[in-house]
Structure 1
Amino acid sequence: MFYLVSYDIPETRRRTKLAKILEDFGDRVQYSVFECILDEKLLGKMIKRIQEIIIAEDDSIRIYSICAGCEKRIEVMGKGKVSKIENIYVI
């Protein structure tokens, strides 16, 4: 499943920690926006790690699930591209 994760965290140290967590799960497409292609298990792991560092009263993290039909209709204007699953072959 394709997920869009955005965040607004006022404290620099927590914001940096969150960005590093999200880099483990997806691609940064804007300063505080990541595209992630995850199964349910990875989504759960990502959410658990996020919950360990955020302060709910101060921070805002949004995780949007994008269905396959909607994913095909994503339009990028300017530089950048939509994250895709890369085919990897090990020989």
Structure 2
Amino acid sequence: MENYVIAYDIRDDRRRLKIYKTLKDYAIPVQYSVFECSLRREDYLILRFKLEKLIRKEEDSIVFYRQCPRCSGRVERLGTSRDPFGDGIFIISSGED
């Protein structure tokens, strides 16, 4: 499993909603257009493939920030931002297993 922060900038509202719904199957929203997740390699590849089919490459952008174990343990949160994994272990399934 690898940890990721995923951020996106999608121009079209309809595409943005599809991206959001797709990401929610794999990740936890922590801010507008920002998700955090822990994925197996095969789930990462499936998610990336699904998102690639939804975006317009000339208009939209999705960035996957892979976090090493050392870096993910050094995340600092201020204000209302809470650790989505802080209350225990969450298993998010794409429903394709």
Q: Same fold (TM over 0.5)?
A: yes
Give SS of 1:63's match: strand
After superposition, the C-alpha distances for 1:5-40 in whole angstroms (9 at most, x for unaligned) are 000011000000000000000100001000011010
Post-superposition offset of 1:72: 0.6
> What is the number of equivalent residue pairs in this alignment?
88
* Structure 1 runs, 4 residues or longer, greater than 4 Å off: none
Describe the superposition over 1:42-76 as per-residue Cα deviations: whole angstroms up to 9, x where unpaired. Answer: 00010010011101000011000001100110000
Calculate the TM-score normalised by the size of structure 1.
0.91
Unaligned runs of 5+ in 1: none
The aligned amino acid for 2:19 is L
Gaps of 5+ in 2: 92-97
TM-score, length of structure 2 as denominator length: 0.85
Q: How big is the alpha-carbon RMSD for the aligned residues of Structure 1 and Structure 2?
A: 1.4
- Between the aligned partners of 2:57 and 2:74, the Cα distance in structure 1 is 32
CA–CA distance in structure 1, aligned partners of residues 90 and 48 of structure 2: 26
Q: CA deviation at 1:87?
A: 6.7
**Counterparts in 2 of 1:87 and 1:30: CA distance versus 1, 3 Å:** closer
Letter in 2 for 1:12: D
Give the equivalent residue in structure 1 for 2:76: 75
Match of residue 47 from structure 2: 46
Whole-Å Cα distance in 1 between the matches of residues 72 and 66 of structure 2? 10
